[in-house]
Amino acid sequence: MRRLRNVKIVATLGPSSSDYATIRALFEAGADVFRLNMSHGTHDEQRARYDIIRQIEADTGRPIGVLADLQGPKLRVGTFANGFEDLAEGQKFRFDLDPAEGNANRVCLPHPEIFAALEVGTTLLINDGKIRMKVDACGADFADCTVTTPGTISNRKGVNVPDVVLPLAALSEKDRADLEFACGLGVDWLALSFVQRPADVLEARELAKGRVAILAKIEKPAAEKAFEEILKVADGIMVARGDLGVELPVEAVPPIQKRLVRKCRAAAKPVIVATQMLESMIESPMPTRAEVSDVATAIYEGADAVMLSAESAAGKYPVEAVKTMDAVARSVESDPTYRDIIVASRVIERKTIADGMVAAAREIAEATEIAAITCYTQSGNSVALVCREKPNVPIIALSPLQPTLRKLCLYWGVHGVQGEVVDRFKQAVIDAARAARDAGFADETKQIVVIAGVPFNVAGSTNILRVASCDERLLSLTDPE
């Protein structure tokens, strides 16, 4: 099932997409990676979805990536005696640790760590920023505020504190349990919510013990400020524009998105652009023109993947949403301007032998009639470097390791093929040519570029490149010398 595009599609599973038929339809429509949102559903429900994904993988013979998204430390107010209160502009309001039900003047905020970090003048955002307050006075167990943006506050609404780095543990007890559960399932990526500092990523990595790739969600101003350091320790990035747009002015989000995508490309690490991409398709079978332009913008920027959240998890038209993303991607990538933008924004990194090898592969592909660049890989590192080059031909990842192929489902332009363990480069070339022909990337008249490392089966040893024919004489060799 060859995709006719390079950007990948991540689809969240949920109540609208929990049975075999729907998940299979999402995959056939274009979903490359499925997201399990650990904020919703039980472990048994998530395990059932995971098992269906792996069944579809076995039935279709194609690797499928799975991303488990941890909830992160959610900050919420307590409850109100009336269920809600209407707050007026200029009104005084107090948050405290008293568990008694709230009223028009106060409510419990059961997070002493917030009070420890507050200062006079700090902004508090309630209910996704619909209500804004300024702190007038604060102590270890209270904060007296003035309402600057009025609205209705109700039971257990979320609280954001954009001005400070909160002394919160990166992973709640629920997150730790969910992390262990997800790693036990065998997911390929683990997304961390509300990352504030590199240490948050390192804590999750220590708990994961190498069982999963770690993806940091950038949704707080502190994470955007510390992005360079976070990127160094993460395996991938998600630009989570929902909470980022709550804690920052909405007009700041587009330039941040562009900067983060470009930095991820330079680092050869995959980046997902997420949140509200086709929001109207939760209720409508057709997206708005602005939503289509939003998806297109992320693709023009060179993002590795675009993501559906509620559209595929809880919406009325999950399959149509994936089909829409697929159609937009194919339209954008067929636009000559797309290649112009991708080439103009390419970041040159030439520090290692592997960097030079993949750059040479891309230049050969652009200068001659090359059908595909094929990488024989153990870890996927060489494939990531090829993805950074954004070549104008398909990238085939050949690996004997199924977990590597599943992880690479998130990377731009990669078509994964399970191969045999080989110990000679000539056999790797034959396997690569056969894979290119079987997948429809080449015929007997075409040539491919093959990249590998000698000695074989050693991660990070990329050091050899060959231009190979796909004709029958090569494929007929069974024991090449």
Which of 265, 313, 273 is CA-nearest to residue 295?
Answer: 273
Catalytic annotation present for 217: yes
The one catalytic residue in 12, 123, 275, 374 is: 275
* Alpha-carbon span 379 to 459, nearest angstrom: 6
The answer to whether residues 92 and 178 touch, using CB atoms and an 8 Å cutoff, is no
* Alpha-carbon span 471 to 77, nearest angstrom: 67
Read off the amino acid at residue 464: I
Catalytic annotation present for 434: no
The one catalytic residue in 3, 35, 197, 220 is: 35
464 alpha-carbon distance from chain centroid: 31
Tokens of 48: 């059932």
Catalytic annotation present for 12: no
Beginning with the edge strand found earlier in the chain, give each strand of the sheet holding 92-96 in spatial order: 106-108, 92-96, 142-149, 131-139, 123-126, 159-160
Tokens of 76: 């919420």
**Helix, strand, or coil (residue 62):** coil
* Alpha-carbon span 404 to 235, nearest angstrom: 13
The one catalytic residue in 217, 265, 390, 437 is: 217
Catalytic annotation present for 3: no
* Alpha-carbon span 323 to 29, nearest angstrom: 5
The one catalytic residue in 74, 76, 130, 176 is: 76
Report the run of H or E that residue 323 belongs to, with start and end: helix 318-333
Which residues does the annotation mark as catalytic?
35, 76, 217, 275
